[in-house]
Amino acid sequence: MRDSTGGYMSAVDDMDDIEMIMQQLQSGQELEQAAESSHRRNYIFREHLDAEERLRADYFGAHPKYPYYYFRRRYRMSLRPDATGLPSFSIIMKCTSTIRQLVYGVTPDALDKYLQMDDHCARDCLDFFIMSVIELFMPKYLRKPGFDDIQRLYNAHNTIHGFSGLLESIDCMHWEWKNCPKEWHKQFARGDKKYPTITLEAVTSYDLWIWHAFFEVAGANNDLTVLNNSPLFEDLLDDIAPMAPFEVNGVTFKKGHYLADDIYPQWSSFVKSFLVVISEKNALFKRKQESARKDIERAFEVLQGRWHIICQRVRSWTINKI
């Protein structure tokens, strides 16, 4: 009896220990879940769309709830009506007009039916929008590469294209100018184009970073004359370009080079393809060079595919706005 009772009591004690362990584990899991839930961000449905509608009704509608002096006091600016005494177009309508002109290449007058905005206002919105974008983003993107940028381009182009010391690819794009003033037609005329054209010189890398964009001056009707007037190599001529040496076949070069086609001059900064292939090595280099130069062609295609306004003839009257 003692053995059996003792064995029974031992089994009971074991069950109690197991139950205690399970309770401790469960309490530990509950504490962990509570700790995790305390750090979890709770989503609050704030009904921001309704808030925007109320904001429009309060200040920006045709008949706002609050008078104009409330708007001036709370926004520190004037909400001026137009010539008819009604509030002007909202920022959403102006941006919609601008973006549709850029994306679809439609004329400003084509948006009149949808936005009830005349072509003069739509054209002004486009000009102001583009000037604001240039002012905000030109210092970041449309700048000459520094030493760190050059090293990054070296490494990327060496890995992707197999070229050491490659900076960018250079080429030009011709854009027909529909509203070119008649007295300027001869200065921007090309024999292969019906309308006067302006030429955009650009350089780009594998990631489509266009840090140099130069529109031709009057009388520069081909890639060479555009290059002669371009500021692309001013730093090299003034000897202030960043020193970024690289090595090819045991020879050290101080500064990088650009891939160009056959129309460009025989400068040391340009790496061009062979006109006549006399060996398999020349053929391999020609294929590699032409393949790498597709970066600039791809950049122009992406620009025209994303912003259809570039596919249309230029409707601006002055080259500064272009």
- The pLDDT value recorded for residue 283 is 92
* Cβ-based neighbours of 274, under 8 Å, separated by 6 or more: 282, 285, 286
pLDDT confidence band for 228 (50 / 70 / 90)? confident
Query: Is residue 116 one of the residues assigned to a domain?
Result: yes
Closest by CA to 220, choosing from 201, 204, 192, 236, is: 201
155 shares its domain with 65: no
The total of other beta-carbon atoms located within 10 Å of residue 192's CB is 6
Higher-confidence residue: 17 or 89? 89
Query: Is residue 6 one of the residues assigned to a domain?
Result: no
271 shares its domain with 223: yes
CA angle 274, 280, 286 (to 5 degrees): 30
Amino acid identity, residue 59? Y
155 shares its domain with 268: yes
Most confident of 9-23, 33-47, 68-82: 68-82
CB 79 within 8 A of CB 71: yes
163 shares its domain with 79: no
pLDDT confidence band for 288 (50 / 70 / 90)? very high
129 shares its domain with 149: no
177 shares its domain with 149: yes
- The pLDDT value recorded for residue 118 is 86
Q: Is the pLDDT of residue 87 over 60?
A: yes
CB 200 within 8 A of CB 213: yes
Average pLDDT value over all residues in the chain: 83
Q: What domain range is 65 assigned to?
A: 45-88
Strand partners, 176: 197
Strand partners, 214: 201
- The pLDDT value recorded for residue 34 is 60
Query: Is residue 317 one of the residues assigned to a domain?
Result: no
- What distance in Å separates the CA atoms of residue 176 and residue 193, rounded to the nearest whole number? 8
CB 81 within 8 A of CB 88: yes
Q: Is the pLDDT of residue 10 over 60?
A: no
Query: Is residue 93 one of the residues assigned to a domain?
Result: no
Query: Is residue 95 one of the residues assigned to a domain?
Result: no
Query: Is residue 12 one of the residues assigned to a domain?
Result: no
Closest by CA to 127, choosing from 92, 93, 101, is: 101
265 shares its domain with 291: yes
pTM tops 0.85, yes or no: no
111 shares its domain with 169: no
Q: Is the pLDDT of residue 42 over 90?
A: no
**Number of separate domains in the chain:** 3
156 shares its domain with 271: yes
pLDDT single digits (tens) 235-279: 888 888 889 999 888 889 999 999 999 989 999 899 999 888 889
63 shares its domain with 158: no
Closest by CA to 161, choosing from 294, 303, 299, is: 294
290 shares its domain with 271: yes
Query: Is residue 23 one of the residues assigned to a domain?
Result: no
79 shares its domain with 151: no
* The dihedral formed by the CA atoms of 103, 105, 108 and 112, expressed in degrees to the nearest 10: -70
Q: Is the pLDDT of residue 309 over 50?
A: yes
Q: Is the pLDDT of residue 313 over 60?
A: yes
Q: Is the pLDDT of residue 37 over 80?
A: no
* Cβ-based neighbours of 28, under 8 Å, separated by 6 or more: none
Q: Is the pLDDT of residue 171 over 70?
A: yes
Query: Is residue 40 one of the residues assigned to a domain?
Result: no
3-class SS letters over the chain: CHHHHHHHHHHHHHHHHHHHHHHHHHHHHHHHHHHHHHHCCCCCCCCHHHHHHHHHHHHHCCCCCCCHHHHHHHHCCCCCECCCCCECCCHHHHHHHHHHHHHHCCCHHHHHHHHCCCHHHHHHHHHHHHHHHHHHHHHHHCCCCCHHHHHHHHHHHHHHCCCCCEEEEEEEEEEEECCCCHHHHHHHCCCCCCCCEEEEEEEECCCCCEEEEEECCCCCCCHHHHHHHCCCCHHHHCCCCCCCCEEECCEEECCCEEECCCCCCCCCCEECCCCCCCCHHHHHHHHHHHHHCHHHHHHHHHHHHHCHHHCCCECCCCCCCC
